Amino acid sequence: MFASRGGRLRCAFVLKGYPRLSETFIAQEIRALEERGLDIVIYSLRHPTDKAVHPVIREIRAPVVYLPEYLYREPWRVARAVLALRRHPRLKELLGLWWRDLRRDPTPNRVRRLGQALVLAHEIDPRIGRIHSHFLHTPGSVGRYAALLTALPWSCSAHAKDIWTLPAWEKCEKLAACDWLVTCTAFNADHLAALAPPGRVELVYHGLDLQRFPPPPKRESPPAGPLKLLSVGRAVAKKGYDDLLQALAALPADIDWHFTHIGGGPLRDALKRQAAGLGIGGRIDWRGPRTQAEVLAAYRAADLFVLASRITDDGDRDGLPNVLIEAQSQALPCIATAVSGIPELIRDGENGLLVTAGDIPALTAAILRLARDPGERQAMGRAGQKIVRENFDLQRCIARLAEKFALPAAEEKSAAEGESAAGAEARP
């Protein structure tokens, strides 16, 4: 057990970047754990690049410490850490571990991870009793290295790219070194459990804060105007937006449709050029990154959500995209690909349609099927909303994660707070 002010548990969260519009699931988890009594200090490896932030960020109490994003930009900070730790009894062990890693991964990023870990170990709040990394790759390395120096337990949350682009040797060694690891899909959990000591890996879905995604107003039946298609996600290869554009271009002329994309990403300009070349540029609204409130409004205005995820050449892939859970919470039927954990949410023919990744004719056929049947869309939307409320409620999902952090159950916490308040009232 570990404690800080007022007996509250305190933990260092190592994040790759904070805050990020595309990582709402991490922010909502931090806020939910704070409500359960976890005292968090965020250590971010990168500074924010998004201009806007989601409302949940403003509710998070955790202070944020930015580690040196590039070591050469803060040389004195790195030098102070090195000088302070030069006689540390575990430094030789850390350098041996890091050297073995560097020989297998001779990259500047590996050097940067060591420098960031030294700064973290030197500057870490002395009241912290655990280091927890979000993502197994870079934050996992920094957390692991710092934990070795500080002799603190280290745990990790693994998600998608960090699992599937990491070499097997690194996954195995980190799984052996961590105290415990949680991941957000059964697909991920099965893969990691096969590489880990027994009982080390556990499935914990992210869940969705249903207070922020309340039931939508009743949808118009049948909807007026063109079929309103929506997708939310970064414009990167694993999201398959180039496949989706080809599928949209193949829709028959009698289908009136309009597509909205929300999200940033390096491929946006290329996708715009592709859409223009396919002759469908005028039917697409590229909105870029948007706040949670704007995304919620887009879900409620849409008729159909589409995500054409796929596995890229380097193995990168989605886990269970939170945008699918968000869309389903708003009774929005989904068409998606049967990649990774997506079938754990989308049940083909019940709350949406699943197609094989990269099968563009099948994707076109799925869109066409639901475009021509508003009744089926509405039935699937209602089914999806029910599945989310029953299986992906954040409060239900966070309970197991709270146990992993040795936090009291919600009922115990409420009782303790009630006793504390009663005692305060009784004092003269």
**What φ, ψ does residue 178 adopt, rounded to 5°?**
-80, 160
**Residue 428: what pLDDT?**
47
Q: What is the largest CA-CA distance in the chain?
A: 79
**Residue 154: what pLDDT?**
98
Sign for the pseudo-dihedral over CA of 366, 371, 372, 373:
positive
Candidates 3.40.50.2000, 3.40.309.10, 3.40.50.2300, 1.10.1200.10; correct CATH number of 227-390?
3.40.50.2000
- Please give the average per-residue pLDDT across 246-275, as a whole number: 97
- Please give the average per-residue pLDDT across 32-50, as a whole number: 95
- Please give the average per-residue pLDDT across 291-297, as a whole number: 94
Q: Which long-range contacts (CB under 8 A, 24 or more apart) does 378-381 make?
A: 378/219, 378/221, 378/331, 378/333, 380/333, 380/334, 380/350, 380/351, 380/352, 380/353, 381/219, 381/328, 381/330, 381/331, 381/332, 381/333, 381/351
* Helix locations, 105-185, DSSP H: 108-123, 138-150, 161-164, 168-177
Task: Kindly state the percentage of the chain with pLDDT values over 90.
Answer: 88
Q: What is the pLDDT of residues 366-376, one digit of tens each?
A: 999 999 999 99
Tell me how crowded residue 25 is: count the other CB atoms within 10 A of its CB. 25
Q: What is the pLDDT of residues 385-422, one digit of tens each?
A: 999 999 999 999 999 999 999 998 765 555 445 554 44
- Please give the average per-residue pLDDT across 4-23, as a whole number: 82
For residue 220 the two structure tokens come to: 């118009």
Sign for the pseudo-dihedral over CA of 70, 73, 76, 77:
negative
Q: What is the pLDDT of residues 125-150, one digit of tens each?
A: 999 999 999 999 999 999 999 999 99
Length of the chain: 428
CATH annotation of 5-207+393-422: 3.40.50.2000
**Residue 421: what pLDDT?**
43
Q: What is the pLDDT of residues 94-123, one digit of tens each?
A: 999 999 999 999 999 999 999 999 999 999
pLDDT at 215 over 90: yes
If pLDDT is split at 50, 70 and 90, which confidence band does 424 have?
Answer: very low
Q: What is the pLDDT of residues 147-188, one digit of tens each?
A: 999 999 999 999 999 999 999 999 999 999 999 999 999 999
pLDDT at 289 over 80: yes
pLDDT at 55 over 90: no
Degrees, nearest 5: CA angle 150-206-300: 140
Give the C-alpha separation, 295 to 263, whole Å: 10
pLDDT at 7 over 60: no
pLDDT at 274 over 50: yes
pLDDT at 195 over 60: yes
**Residue 30: what pLDDT?**
97
**Residue 413: what pLDDT?**
55
If pLDDT is split at 50, 70 and 90, which confidence band does 381 have?
Answer: very high
| Domain boundaries for CATH 3.40.50.2000 within the chain | 5-207+393-422, 227-390
pTM over 0.85: yes
**Residue 35: what pLDDT?**
95
If pLDDT is split at 50, 70 and 90, which confidence band does 1 have?
Answer: very low
Give the C-alpha separation, 262 to 264, whole Å: 7
Q: What is the pLDDT of residues 333-365, one digit of tens each?
A: 999 999 999 999 999 999 999 999 999 999 999
- Please give the average per-residue pLDDT across 236-259, as a whole number: 97
CA 195 to chain centre: 22
